[in-house]
Each structure stands twice: as C-alpha cells, then as structure tokens.
Amino acid sequence: MGRSGKIITVGLCPSWDVTCRFAGIEWGEHNLADSAVSRPAGKAMNVSRALAWMGRRNTAAGLWGQDDYEQMRRSMRDLRGLVTVRLTAVAGGTRRNFTVVDTAGEREMHLRFRCELVSAKALRQLRSDLEGIVTKGSICVFAGLMPGDRFLGEIIGIIRDCKARGARIAVDTYGEALRGIVDSGLAWLINPNAAELRELVGEGVAGRPSSLVKAARGLLEKVETVVVSRGKEGAVAVTRDGAWHGVAVGSGRVLSTVGCGDYLLGGFLKAAADKADTRSALQTALKVGTARAWGLTEEKSWTQARRLVRVEVGGV
C-alpha cells in the first residue's frame, strides 16, 4: 500500500549513549572492556535509528548541543544517509549516559545524567526550525524526557503548531509532560509502558493485557491509538476499533534492553506510515523491538531479522 508523508523525530533531551560490555564484572574491579560504543541517542534519535535500520528515510529534529554537534553529524554517517539531520544547535554540550553490560552475568547497569539543553530561547529556535520541516501528512514523533513543569506550555505550543500544519503527533514520554499533552487532545498515538500508563490514569492497573486494555480505552476520547510496552511480555495496542496483544516467541538471548522500546515504537510507526492495520503494525513493532533485544539490529538486516523473530498477536 502507498506511504503517507515523512516521519520526523523530535527530541528535547538527547544524549550520547555509551555502552561498555564485559564478560563478567563485579563492583570495585578494574577491568578491560570487551567493547565500547558511543552513539547519538535519546528516545527520538533511537526511533530515527530504528527506522533507518528498516530502510525508512526520516528526519531527526529537536535539540542538540553545539559543542558536539559536528561530532554527532559524523556519527550519523553509518546510517547510509537515511536520516536527514535537522537538529537545532543550542548552547552547551549534549549529556552522556552510560550502560555497563555484563554479558556473562546477563545483567546491566544504566547511569543517566540531567539534560541541560532546554531553555526558552532553545524552544523558540526549535519552534521556528520546525516550520521549515513539518508538512501536511507528516508523522511527528515527540519522544524522550521533557521538562514538564517550567516549559510544558511552550512544548504543547510546538506540538500544536505541528498538528496545525497537518501532522499526526506520536508521543513517547512520561509524567507531567505526557499528561499535559494527552489532555491537550493533540496526540494521535502515545506509547507508555505499563508503569507510565498507571501514572497517567492515576490508578492501579494490573499488568495483564486485559487490564492494560481497559485502562487504555479510558484515554481514547483524547488519543486515537495507545501502544503499551510490556518489556519481555510484549505489548498491547488499543484503538476505537479494537485491541490486540502480542509477544515474541522463541529462544533468542537478550543481549541488552537499551532502546528496545524505542525500536518497538519505530516499527509501529513505519508500519502505520505504510498504511498497515493496527494488528499488523503491532506485529512489526514486536519484531523490531525483539530484534534490538537479541542484538540482531547490529549484525543482521531488517529483511533477515524479520524472518528470525516470530511473534504471536491476537485480539483482547
């Protein structure tokens, strides 16, 4: 089926993700890493990378520190030109987050730092830059940490501008920012995990698919599609037309959970942009998220990985 317009990812609090892998490590040791990788990241950038891995061209927008902007552009060259970099350079440097993976112990540690790029001036410049990027039929993905207290009004204003230009708005954030955007009625799709959904609806929600679906249906007056990530237990997708639950089946080994939810969202958005139905989009999303967890996105093409990952999707 024919595609819709371009996909634009927008991240306000990006990062460099530095991942160090060890074949066994304990607290207090001085050890030589087996590998270390540093990449431009943050949720929005991860969605861009997932789309590029699937061969889907997209545009990376949002904020990035001018101190390391050129370094970021050089690092994006490994994506075969599938990501058009239109990030807004703002004063300062982009934070670095660290993940330590113990491959022998099958465990990992995540170290995160504060985002210091957002300011009223930075958001004004981003708002202006997006005017030249967003067009009718675009999908705009606002993903990652957002300062939901001081700047929430400005952020919602940016989202409103994008929707006014004819874009569909997808959102993957949490807390006050997610609640404010949902209440604004501007979002087409949101992608919380189970804990974020509980926080959003303000009540306890059991983790089983039927309970998550019931809670998500309460949001459908304001949002068209709710995709709830459930980690290794899969995901659910809820619209006014129905609800579906899916999970990966098979014996793949989880190498890392970093970015898996972002790749799941990227898979769902690519399928939606290609006009797939919700069930098929969820199936694609689970394949992409699982491929990320199993390390297939590093060593296999999307064509190869989609044959290796099996998922089961059914109605709820």
Give pLDDT, residue 306: 94
Strands 88-90 vs 189-190: parallel, antiparallel or unpaired? unpaired
CB atoms within 10 A of CB 315: 9
Q: Tens digits of per-residue pLDDT, 141-156?
A: 999 999 877 899 999 9
Residues in the chain predicted with pLDDT less than 50, given as ranges, are 1-2
Residue pair 223/213 in contact by the 8 Å Cβ criterion: no
Q: Tens digits of per-residue pLDDT, 67-109?
A: 999 999 999 988 889 999 999 999 999 999 999 999 899 899 9
For the chain, the structural domain boundaries read 1-187, 224-316
Q: Of 145, 148, 142, 143, which Cα lies nearest the Cα of 163? A: 142
145 phi and psi, to 5 degrees? -60, 135
Amino acid found at 22: F
CATH topology of domain 1-187: UDP-N-acetylmuramoyl-L-alanine:D-glutamate ligase (3.40.1190)
